[in-house]
């Protein structure tokens, strides 16, 4: 069953998850910077997508982070119950 969350909740989750992957403080990340600017590789994209699937309770497309390339745009998409 899909879970609908507020954009801010998803945004905070993404900030913390990306910070963990990059091993940097979340305060060093910006919500309007493209994921690829942080140098994440395809394995990190897969890991982050898997974490998001758990958070929102549904399967997400593997290209999601490429289709919505910033924390801000991805959070907005997921909060709008994007399918």
Other C-beta atoms closer than 10 Å to the C-beta of 18 total: 19
Average pLDDT of the residues in 48-58 = 93
pLDDT at 14: 97
Contact 79, 7 (CB under 8 A): yes
Average pLDDT of the residues in 39-54 = 93
Q: Give the global pTM.
A: 0.88
**Helix 71-79 × helix 7-22 angle, to 10°:** 140
Inform me whether the pLDDT recorded for 9 exceeds 70.
yes
Inform me whether the pLDDT recorded for 81 exceeds 80.
no
Give percent of the chain with pLDDT exceeding 90: 82
Contact 72, 30 (CB under 8 A): no
> Which domains does the chain possess?
7-79 (1.10.1200.10)
pLDDT at 5: 82
């Amino acid at each position: 069953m899909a879970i609908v969350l507020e954009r801010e909740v998803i945004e905070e989750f993404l900030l913390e998850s990306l910070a963990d992957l990059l091993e940097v403080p979340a305060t060093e990340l910006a919500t309007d910077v493209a994921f690829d600017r942080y140098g994440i590789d395809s394995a990190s994209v897969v890991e982050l997508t898997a974490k998001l699937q758990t958070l929102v309770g549904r399967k997400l497309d593997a290209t999601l982070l490429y289709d919505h390339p910033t924390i801000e745009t991805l959070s907005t998409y997921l909060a709008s119950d994007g399918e």
